[in-house]
Amino acid sequence: MRDAIVQVLEGRSGGASVQEITGEVVELIGDVPASSVRSYLRLNTPAIFARMDRAQYSLNGLDEPQRPIPRAAAMQAREFRFGRASLVLDECNAWMDRQTPNSIHAVVTDPPYGLVEYSDIEQSKRLDVTRLGKVASRS
């Protein structure tokens, strides 16, 4: 969210209202609660942002120029890259099998599973529980 807010404010030398910032951030990265934008602005003032007036913020000067953030529509792809990070929508084990050995720094899954949950033993338990649920619902 930081990069999106910064990008919005970079284009406004006179600053912008929280409502304007929130609207443009939503256009850039998709749905974001207004309370999250307000909170981020408040928590990062004066380090990143300057409060000009009530609910009015501007940049407080950043050393490095920011890259434009791809629009939310561009995020519909199965893989999204920003800088050196990649966000991939895929079946985790199949994707891992296609990767070069020792090329992954981190994998985040939702919900957070470990390899234990994907072992043959654990998967067979899952199938047994599914069958039990079907049998129980027939009774």
SS3 category, 88: strand
The answer to whether residue 80 is domain-embedded is no
The Cα–Cα gap between 139 and 136 comes to: 5
CA atoms within 13 A on the CB side of 102: 0
The Cα–Cα gap between 10 and 12 comes to: 6
- For the entire predicted model, the pTM comes to 0.45
pLDDT at 64: 46
Question: Domain range for residue 97?
Answer: 90-138
The answer to whether residue 26 is domain-embedded is yes
pLDDT at 72: 53
Q: Can you list the residues of the chain whose pLDDT is less than 50?
A: 63-64, 75, 135, 139
The answer to whether residue 111 is domain-embedded is yes
Same domain, 55 and 9: yes
Same domain, 54 and 95: no
pLDDT tens column, 17-46: 999 999 999 988 888 888 999 899 988 888
The answer to whether residue 38 is domain-embedded is yes
